[in-house]
Amino acid sequence: MAVKIKSAADAAKKFTEVTPGRQSYYETGVKGAGADWESGALAATQAYKSAVSAANIDKMFSGGVKKAGAAKYVAKASTLGPARFSQGVQVSGPDYQAGVDPFFAVIAAETLTARGPRGSPGNIQRVTQIATDLNKKRLQLRAAGA
C-alpha cells in the first residue's frame, strides 16, 4: 500500500508560511547549543576527513555545483545577500579584528629593503619576504589550533 503524504508543493508552502514565525524558537535553541555543536563537530573530525578524501569527492562536488548552477547562485546572492550584508559586516567587526591582528603584527614588524623602481627584482624579494612570514604565521596559528 502506498504511503499518503503531502505534496512537495504543499510542504514548501507550509514551510515558507509557518517557519518565519518560529524565529524565537531558533534564537532560544541557538543560545544554548554552542557546547553541543562544538563537541559534535570535534567528534566528526575523522568522518570529515574521510568524506573530503573519498575517491569520488571531486565528482560529487562538481555535480552539486552544476546542479545548483550559476542562475541559482545569482538569484540567492542578489535577493538574500544585500539585506544581510551590512548587518553581517557590523556584527563581525570583533572577529575580523581578532583574525587579522596576528598578520598585521607580522607586517608591522617587517624590516624591508628600500622599494626599487617598477619591475625591480628587489621589489619581488620584498613581496616574497612578507608572503613567507605571513605563511609562517598562518601555519603557527593552525598548529596552535587558532
**What confidence score (pLDDT) does residue 119 get?**
93
Output the tens digit of pLDDT for each of the chain's 146 residues: 787 888 888 989 998 999 989 999 989 899 989 999 999 999 999 999 999 999 999 999 999 999 999 999 999 999 988 888 888 888 999 999 999 999 999 999 999 999 999 999 999 999 999 999 999 999 999 999 86
Crossing angle for the helix pair 45-52 and 34-43, to the nearest 10 degrees: 50
**What confidence score (pLDDT) does residue 40 get?**
95
Where are the chain's structural domains?
55-91, 94-146
d(CA 48, CA 14): 33
**What confidence score (pLDDT) does residue 5 get?**
84
**What confidence score (pLDDT) does residue 3 get?**
79
- Which three three-digit cell numbers place residue 118? 617598477
- Which three three-digit cell numbers place residue 93? 567587526
With 0.75 as the threshold, say if the pTM is over it: no
d(CA 141, CA 146): 5
